[in-house]
């Protein structure tokens, strides 16, 4: 039986033992927490053909479980290792080598073994695990790429005009140039937040840039795009327009060009002389309806049969000019004749050309009158006449020729030659070798003398055939109906000397 003294002794021993255990367990925990630092994380990733093969848990925690592409991983490392992407792109075939890069807090080892790229990142990577920091790092990587690869020239200036930041394109351009670039840039915004201007930069060759300036509180940001080709193209266009203007000024044909809005865009001095339209009127860029209406008032258009057809005529001129089918001769009341032609142009524009053909029309009328007069003279002659060219083509014939050879009048306009006509002559005459000679005479080149021969028609009439060379190598063939040949009977009233000699 345990006494009270024994119970007290046992309790005291138990309490002392518990205190020793508690002291023993607590001391090591406090020592570890105060002397041992948190272990550094070891991030390892394996990529092949731009795809993720494997990664440690620390890598997944740092860069996210959706990291599957090598390009995404390199963009995430770009803020701390900006040259890493460039080095891998420039030497994509290196094998068995290691690239080691060290920053203030991170060390990166890269190795390539038979196409498998191993990345090992050591150091303080706790900041990489923060999602907000990852987004900021991606944004910083994007800005770094924009700075390095943007073709635009981008730079930042303070209010005093000092350049405080530039991108790679600006730096490259500044290194190639001589002297200050964009020295003529006007940064007086005049209260505007954005301003655009075209600036010339003179170096080995003159270059033009379209510069957009954005004003901020204490600085300006400039964006420059090269516009040399645009400036040269615009200059070439102006030179071409000036050349066209000089060419149009020397033309004797009146020219009026209307744009897609139907307004007069260009005209030449000949149009003023031909249409008698005032210069002030044409310079006001009237529409085609107004121009045609003014021409009607000046009696520079042909009179219609009725007034209601005026507007229809205007519509026909415009529609025909746009599709290139309008060509009319305007016979004016004063005796002049204009050939008016419409020509389509790109983008809905069209041109109307006025050509004075009064002299041509008069010449054609006179020529036609001379032909009609000559034909009338030939038709009054009783002899059958036909004229052939040097190649044997019939040029003209008269009505007596048609009657003699029973030729239809409507066939006179057809293409007829000496071969066809000789066959007609042979059919209506008794066979004779003279027709072959006639054909050869018409087609013979060089000097010829007049030729004549007799023939007989199938009805018994005698025919006298003449071939006369005329100017231009042509031949005039003339057929004359000869009177019938009757025998001549003479009385034997004279003394025959032979008979007298016989009698003596």
CA dist., res. 267 & res. 265, Å (int): 7
What is the model's pLDDT at position 460? Answer: 86
Task: Tell me what percent of the residues of the chain surpass a pLDDT of 90.
Answer: 10
Tally the C-alpha atoms within 13 A of residue 429's C-alpha that lie toward its C-beta.
Answer: 22
Specify whether the CB–CB gap between 99 and 110 falls below 8 A.
yes
CA dist., res. 488 & res. 336, Å (int): 69
Coil, helix or strand at residue 375: helix
Which pLDDT band holds residue 15 (cuts at 50, 70, 90)? Answer: very low
Q: Residue 299: pLDDT above 60?
A: yes
Q: Is 111 exposed, middle or buried (0-12, 13-18, 19+ CB in 10 A)?
A: middle
CA dist., res. 106 & res. 43, Å (int): 11
Q: Residue 70: pLDDT above 70?
A: yes
pLDDT tens per residue across span 301-322: 887 665 566 566 667 777 777 7
Q: Residue 501: pLDDT above 70?
A: no
Q: Which residue has the tokens 């000679």?
A: 437
List, in order of start, the domains of the chain with CATH numbers. Answer: 41-148 (3.40.1840.10), 150-231 (3.30.450.20), 251-356 (3.30.450.20), 380-482 (3.30.450.20)
- Which of residues 136 and 57 earns the better pLDDT score? 57
Specify whether the CB–CB gap between 355 and 336 falls below 8 A.
no
What is the model's pLDDT at position 349? Answer: 83
DSSP line for 201-270: EESSSEEEEEEEEEE-SSEEEEEEEE-HHHHHHHHHHHHHHHHHHHHHHH-SSEEEEE-TTSBEEEE-HH
What is the model's pLDDT at position 98? Answer: 57
Rg (CA), the chain: 55
User: What count of residues does the chain have?
Assistant: 504
Q: How far is CA 213 from each of CA 119, 143, 159, 219, 304, rounded to the nearest angstrom?
A: 43, 19, 13, 10, 62
Q: Extract the tokens encoding 38.
A: 């948190």
What is the model's pLDDT at position 493? Answer: 55
Mean pLDDT of the residues in the chain: 77
pTM of the model as a whole: 0.43
Task: Tell me what percent of the residues of the chain surpass a pLDDT of 70.
Answer: 75
What is the model's pLDDT at position 172? Answer: 85
Q: Residue 34: pLDDT above 60?
A: no
Mean pLDDT of 347-352: 83
What is the model's pLDDT at position 25? Answer: 36
Q: Which residue has the tokens 């190598």?
A: 473
Q: Residue 123: pLDDT above 50?
A: yes
Coil, helix or strand at residue 166: strand
Which pLDDT band holds residue 18 (cuts at 50, 70, 90)? Answer: very low
| Cβ atoms within 10 Å, residue 78 | 22
pLDDT tens per residue across span 126-140: 655 555 555 666 676
Specify whether the CB–CB gap between 282 and 274 falls below 8 A.
no
From 451, 420, 417, 453, select the one nearest 434 (Cα to Cα): 453
Q: Extract the tokens encoding 253.
A: 């044909």
What is the model's pLDDT at position 4? Answer: 39
From 391, 394, 385, select the one nearest 444 (Cα to Cα): 391
CA dist., res. 201 & res. 178, Å (int): 10
Coil, helix or strand at residue 457: strand
What is the model's pLDDT at position 480? Answer: 93
Q: How far is CA 220 from each of CA 155, 165, 179, 181, 197, rounded to the nearest angstrom?
A: 8, 10, 21, 16, 14
Mean pLDDT of 213-235: 88
Q: Which residues pair with 200 in a beta bridge?
A: 208
- E-strand ranges in 322-429 read 327-331, 337-344, 350-356, 384-388, 394-397
CA dist., res. 454 & res. 435, Å (int): 10
DSSP line for 64-103: -TT--BHHHHHHHHTTT-TTHHHHHHHSTT--S-EEEEE-
pLDDT tens per residue across span 133-163: 556 666 766 777 788 888 889 988 888 888 8
Tally the C-alpha atoms within 13 A of residue 306's C-alpha that lie toward its C-beta.
Answer: 3
CA dist., res. 174 & res. 179, Å (int): 9
Specify whether the CB–CB gap between 112 and 50 falls below 8 A.
no
Which pairing describes strands 462-469 and 254-258: parallel, antiparallel, or unpaired? unpaired
The DSSP letter of residue 301 is S
Q: Give me the phi and psi of 447, to 5 degrees please.
A: -70, 140
Mean pLDDT of 414-438: 88
Q: Which residues pair with 47 in a beta bridge?
A: 52, 117
In this predicted structure, which of 92-96, 214-218, 276-280, 300-304 has the lowest mean pLDDT?
92-96
- Which of residues 247 and 170 earns the better pLDDT score? 170
In this predicted structure, which of 68-72, 193-197, 375-379, 415-419 has the lowest mean pLDDT?
68-72
CB within 8 A of 442, min separation 6: which ones?
388, 392, 418, 467, 475, 477
């Amino acid at each position: 039986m345990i006494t009270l003294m024994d119970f007290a002794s046992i309790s005291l021993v138990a309490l002392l033992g518990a205190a020793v255990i508690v002291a023993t367990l607590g001391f090591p925990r406090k020592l570890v927490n105060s002397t041992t630092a948190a272990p550094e994380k070891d991030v390892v990733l394996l990529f092949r053909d731009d795809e993720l093969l494997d990664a440690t848990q620390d890598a997944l925690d740092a860069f996210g479980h959706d990291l599957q592409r090598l390009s995404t991983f390199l963009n995430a490392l770009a803020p701390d290792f900006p040259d890493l992407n460039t080095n891998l792109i420039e030497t994509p075939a290196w094998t068995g080598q290691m690239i080691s890069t060290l920053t203030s807090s991170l060390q990166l080892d890269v190795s390539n073994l038979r196409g498998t790229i191993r990345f090992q990142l050591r150091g303080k990577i706790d900041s990489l695990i923060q999602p907000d920091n990852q987004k900021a790092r991606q944004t910083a990587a994007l800005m770094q790429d924009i700075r390095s690869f943007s073709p635009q020239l981008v730079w930042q200036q303070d209010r005093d005009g000092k350049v405080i930041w530039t991108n790679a394109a600006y730096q490259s351009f500044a290194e190639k140039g001589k002297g200050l670039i964009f020295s003529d840039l006007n940064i007086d915004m005049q209260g505007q937040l954005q301003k655009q201007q075209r600036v010339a930069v003179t170096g080995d060759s003159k270059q033009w840039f379209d510069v957009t300036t954005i004003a901020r509180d204490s600085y300006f940001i400039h964006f420059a795009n090269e516009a040399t080709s645009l400036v040269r193209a615009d200059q070439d266009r102006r030179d071409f327009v000036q050349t066209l203007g000089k060419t149009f000024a020397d033309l004797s044909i009146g020219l009026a060009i209307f744009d897609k809005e139907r307004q007069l865009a260009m005209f030449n001095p000949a149009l003023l002389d031909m249409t008698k339209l005032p210069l002030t009127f044409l310079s006001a860029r009237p529409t085609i309806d107004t121009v045609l209406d003014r021409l009607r008032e000046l009696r520079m258009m042909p009179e219609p049969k009725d007034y209601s057809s005026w507007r229809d005529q205007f519509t026909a001129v415009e529609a025909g000019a746009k599709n290139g089918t309008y060509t009319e001769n305007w016979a004016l009341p004063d005796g002049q004749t204009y050939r008016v032609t419409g020509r389509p142009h790109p983008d809905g524009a069209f041109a109307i050309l006025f050509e004075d053909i009064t002299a041509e029309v008069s010449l054609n009328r006179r020529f036609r009158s001379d032909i009609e007069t000559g034909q009338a003279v030939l038709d009054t002659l009783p002899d059958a006449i036909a004229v052939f060219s040097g190649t044997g083509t019939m040029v003209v014939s008269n009505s007596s020729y048609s009657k003699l050879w029973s030729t239809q009048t409507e066939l006179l306009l057809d293409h007829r030659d000496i071969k066809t006509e000789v066959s007609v002559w042979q059919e209506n005459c008794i066979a004779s070798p003279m027709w072959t000679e006639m054909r050869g005479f018409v087609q013979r080149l060089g000097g010829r003398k007049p030729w004549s021969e007799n023939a007989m028609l199938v009805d018994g009439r005698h025919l006298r055939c003449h071939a006369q060379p005329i100017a231009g190598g042509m031949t005039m063939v003339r057929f004359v109906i000869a009177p019938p040949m009757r025998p001549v009977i003479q009385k034997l009233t004279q003394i025959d000397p032979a008979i007298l000699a016989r009698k003596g």
